[in-house]
Amino acid sequence: MQSERLNKYLALQLGVSRREADALISQGRVRINGEVARLGARFQSDDSLTFNNKPLGEATIKQYLAFHKPTGYVCSRRAQGDNPTVYSLLPKNLHTLKPVGRLDKDSSGLLLLTNDGDFAYQMTHPKFHKSKTYQVDLDRDLAPLHQQMISDFGVHLDDGTSKLLLERRSDTNRRQWTVQMSEGRNRQIRRTFASLGYEVAALHRIEFGSYQLGSLASGETLEITP
């Protein structure tokens, strides 16, 4: 009878990365046939598995979705004040999926959702350098000097230097930009422009890694292939 790695199975069941699954195993929260599991453990198909003393069911089917997030919604399970959650736009059968990274309430565009922890880890960990592309509208024209600072030298923020690749969306407009980045720090684009005295009026993600928003309508989902 073929055995399976416990951390891989746990990651799929709970929608976490294998590293997070290892942490749960180390905490003694996973049991095989009533015995506390150890790191590196494997199990057979007829073994009984529990997490927090609750049975783990059959392996779930991995799901990967692209979602066009509208502005005004938060990427969390619970609403924040008067701001509804993105899950209020999704059918209940998709509520087990977790966002891959986040878009803040005032941002829109491409949001990936999955129950595959490894996929989420590979898309969001800095070492994989997944590029993200946004359409950004500013409250006023971006000065050429500030464009050079952001693109060539980077801007110092509290959590390190922020360097973004900027491209004008129109030869006659210096408020509308395409911004590309490979990091994923909290509100990094907004903070970068704010440090130079600009306010981001609109932020819309159109690409994440090899995935594109395309013609997906606001509030709609599309199944994708990893």
Active site residues per annotation? 104
CATH number of residue 143's parent domain: 3.30.70.1560
Are 42 and 24 part of one and the same domain?
yes
- Span 1-26, mean pLDDT? 84
pLDDT of residue 93: 86
Q: Do residues 149 and 120 both lie within one domain?
A: no
Mean pLDDT of 86-103: 91
What does 85-141 look like in DSSP terms, one character per residue?
BGGGGS-GGGTT-EEES---TTEEEEEEEES-HHHHHHHHSGGG---EEEEEEESSP
Residues 109 and 69 both lie in one domain: yes
Does residue 223 form part of some domain?
no
**Dihedral pair phi/psi, residue 204, rounded to 5°:** -135, 115
Taking the model in full, what pTM does it have? Answer: 0.78
Mean pLDDT score of the chain? 92
- Look at 113 and 53; give whichever has higher pLDDT: 113
161 pLDDT more than 70 = yes
Together in a domain, 114 and 157: no
Average confidence (pLDDT) over 125-150: 95
pLDDT the model gives residue 79: 81
% pLDDT > 90, the chain: 66
- How many domains is the chain partitioned into structurally? 3
Cα gap 117→35, rounded to integer Å: 25
Does residue 190 sit in the same domain as residue 145? yes
Which residue range(s) make up the domain with 169?
Answer: 131-208
Whether 118 and 142 map to the same domain: the answer is no
CATH classification at residue 8: 3.10.290.10
Which candidate, 167, 214, 157, places its Cα nearest to that of 189?
157
State the first-to-last Cα distance of the chain, in angstroms, to the nearest integer: 29
Residue 72 lies in a domain: yes
Residues 111-129: what's their mean pLDDT?
89
Tens digits of residue pLDDT in 43-57: 988 888 999 888 876
Residues 85 and 44 in one domain: no
SS3 161: strand
Residue 89 shares a structural domain with residue 118: yes
DSSP conformational letter for 143: P
Residue 224 lies in a domain: no
**Per-residue pLDDT at 184 exceeds 80:** no
Do 141 and 199 share a domain, yes or no?
yes
Lowest mean pLDDT among 12-16, 80-84, 148-152, 159-163: 12-16
User: What does R_g of the chain's alpha carbons equal in angstroms?
Assistant: 21
Confidence of residue 62 (pLDDT cuts 50, 70, 90): confident
Q: What is the CATH number of the domain that holds 69?
A: 3.30.70.580
User: Based on the domain organization, do 136 and 197 belong to the same domain?
Assistant: yes
80 within domain boundaries = yes
217 found inside a domain: no
Same domain, 102 and 155: no
Residue 157 forms part of a structural domain: yes
Q: Which two tokens stand for residue 127?
A: 């070492």
The answer as to whether 12 is a domain residue is yes
pLDDT of 17: 78
Residue 192 belongs to some domain of the structure: yes
pLDDT tens track for 140-150: 999 999 999 99
Contacts of 79 (CB under 8 A, 6+ apart): 85, 88
Q: Output the pLDDT for position 58.
A: 55
Which position has the higher pLDDT, 223 or 55? 223
Question: What confidence score (pLDDT) does residue 137 get?
Answer: 98
**Are residues 167 and 189 part of one domain?**
yes
Contacts of 106 (CB under 8 A, 6+ apart): 71, 72, 203
- pLDDT for the residue numbered 221: 97
